[in-house]
A and B are shown apart, each in its own frame.
Chain A
Amino acid sequence: MKEYTYTEKKDTRSGFGVGLLELGRTNPNVVALCADLIGSLKMDAFKKEFPERFYQVGIAEANMMGLAAGMTIGGKIPFTGTFANFSTGRVYDQIRQSIAYSGKNVKICASHAGLTLGEDGATHQILEDVGMMKMLPHMTVINPCDFNQTKAATIAIAEYEGPVYLRFGRPAVPNFTPADQKFEIGKAVMLNEGTDVTILATGHLVWKAIEAGHKLAEKGINAEVINIHTIKPLDDEAILKSVGKTKCVVTAEEHQLNGGLGDSVAQLLGRQLPAPLEMVGVNDSFGESGTPDQLMEKYGLSTENIVAAAERAISRK
């Protein structure tokens, strides 16, 4: 079993900010828009270095999505920045018509997703965003797991032609993936090979899945841990290959069970490879105020929850 280590915790949103700045330097077509959350989205550096390619939109997210769609006409690659809640639910129709159906090359970059937003509470803790975005035809949905991967994903999506939803978060989390990684959209990353159970994790739950793998090993269970950073298109091949070997699976995500990664995996396995499936996520509930750790614990998104789910999945084989 591979040991993953990290020297510091960093927030994934800062990975986005650093990636965006690098894009500014390497791709003159990249432009950025923000709806009054420059500091929160870590877009300050891009704004400072490329003021002519930065658009402060104000608290008007619907307009921001329309502007971004229009800016693609003439070859620009717009990156919009606001909280995940205001990047999706608030502007679903604008994204649907002006961006997704119109096939526009807009990158919707969404921070503060999920429960780990913390104290601001349920109004801001969107847990439905992946579901909304993955339902849209043409949309690619990406949820990287740490600072380095978020930076790499930010850079990679500029090279891809088409609308992308890039989801990241607020708290500092272990930064363990390689700084020089190449990010391949739609390509799952094998973290630890195993034979007894497949754990498919996305976003902030990837580190917890690695931890769960170690705890399971202490119990004599050999878990295979895979980072599903791209929820759409799903890496069907990697998932089927793994579940074909382990015969059972756990999904783990900071999202509603309805509409999330687990839901996509259930569809895939139901059609092609029925196998016991356990899902770690938020079960049809809104969040609340609290620290990120308290919330992840209360809503069943802890390392222990993944361990328990793996044991249940194995028992159902």
Chain B
Amino acid sequence: MNPHNKSIDELKQIAAQVRRDIVRMVHAVNSGHPGGSLGCTDYFVSLYFSVMNYKPQPFNMDGEGEDLFFLSNGHISPVWYSVLARAGFFEVAELATFRKINSRLQGHPATEEGLPGIRVASGSLGQGLSVAVGAAQTKKLNKDNNLVYVLMGDGELGEGQVWEAAMYAAHNKVDNLIATVDRNYQQIDGGTEEVLALGDLRHKFEAFGWHVLEADGNNFETLLPALEDAKKATGNGKPVMILMNTEMGFGVDFMMGSHKWHGVAPNDEQLEIALQQLAVQQASDY
């Protein structure tokens, strides 16, 4: 049972608030990664406020009896931190410490400082799927029927370890796992198809033995049913992959449609424009 279980209208309001958090966090330290964070906001909000079964407090590292989430593309930490705070893992005010000295909110997610909600460090790309598969196998050993979720970036699929894990998960029928690729077609140096073409990911993952779904990651009306379909696809002998189309920078018009806002923070003027575009009925900025 999800502890929040919000309606679509409520999810939209939360997503707008999370996007406000993201642009304010990266603006405050003039660093961080707003593009992918904004693109994946609706996915994170869906998981934590509707789809996943978990207890925000007290946070339990082993997560027995809960669904687990792993973020492999750790650079989109702003969206995760905001959603964790808004979901009750820690105080929203702590978002103001993002990337600052002595903070639990490291530039990339880490366990060392003990931030609730995070179970492994990520940032060096390509490692999260392996970790998620391992955690899913432990759930099977423990006869824990909850699910393991993992998000990867599409550019991240250039890392060979992802494909090692993809082979392994299918071979070992790790079917309590729902992986998602943020298919925004952008990476730091440009479009994914220009930098190192990923090609037809559906056929690639199907050839690796996965059950593959596609979803629009910026539309709750279709994303939530897609996540439900993914849940229904578990337990059938195959790991489940959602190829989730998103737009990098979604919600802030000048950040959309380009890789340029992958890892750049807005200036004062740009922040104001972004916040005007991310209006919410009852803003509760930290």
Question: Which residues of A line the B interface, CB within 8 A?
Answer: 31, 52-53, 55, 57-58, 60, 62-76, 78, 93-94, 96-98, 101-104
Contact = CB atoms under 8 A, between A and B. Distances in A.
A68 B165 CA distance: 12
B131 A69 contact: yes
Interface string B156-191: 000011001101100110000000000000000000
Contacts of B161: 60, 62-63, 66, 94
B132 interface: yes
Contacts of A78: 134
Nearest to A75: B62
B62 A102 contact: no
Interface of B: 61-64, 68, 70, 110-112, 119-124, 126-139, 141-142, 144, 160-161, 164-165, 167-168, 171-172
Given A60-B161, A71-B138, 6 more contacts: A60-B168, A66-B134, A67-B134, A70-B134, A78-B134, A102-B110
A187 to B, nearest CB: 27
A68 to B, nearest CB: 6
B97 to A, nearest CB: 19
Q: Name, among A31, A73, A75, A98, the residue most crowded by chain B CB atoms within 10 Å (CB to CB).
A: A73
Contact of B121 (A67, A70, A98): A98
Contacts of B121: 97-98, 101-102
Given A97-B127, A98-B127, A73 B165 contact: no
B62 A67 contact: no
Given A60-B168, A74-B138, A67 B112 contact: no
Given A93-B124, A97-B122, A98-B120, A74 B168 contact: no
Given A73-B61, A93-B124, A98-B127, A58 B168 contact: yes
A97 B209 CA distance: 28
B254 to A, nearest CB: 33
B120 A69 contact: yes
Contacts of B136: 70
B134 A68 contact: yes
B157 to A, nearest CB: 14
Nearest to B118: A102
A75 B134 contact: no
Contacts of B63: 73-74
B133 A70 contact: yes
B142 A67 contact: no
The 7 closest A-B pairs by CB, nearest first: A66-B130, A70-B134, A74-B138, A63-B164, A67-B134, A60-B164, A70-B131
22 contacts: A53-B141, A57-B168, A60-B161, A60-B164, A62-B164, A63-B133, A63-B165, A66-B130, A67-B131, A70-B120, A70-B131, A70-B132, A71-B134, A73-B62, A73-B68, A74-B138, A75-B142, A94-B130, A98-B130, A101-B112, A101-B121, A102-B119
Nearest to A100: B121
Contacts of B120: 69-70, 73, 98, 102, 104
Nearest to A33: B134
B257 to A, nearest CB: 32
Contact of A74 (B123, B135, B164, B165): B135
Contact of A71 (B126, B137, B165, B168): B137
A60 B64 CA distance: 28
A235 to B, nearest CB: 26
B131 to A, nearest CB: 4
Contacts of A60: 161, 164, 167-168
B61 to A, nearest CB: 7
Nearest to B74: A97
Contacts of A76: 138, 141
B71 to A, nearest CB: 13
A29 B111 CA distance: 22
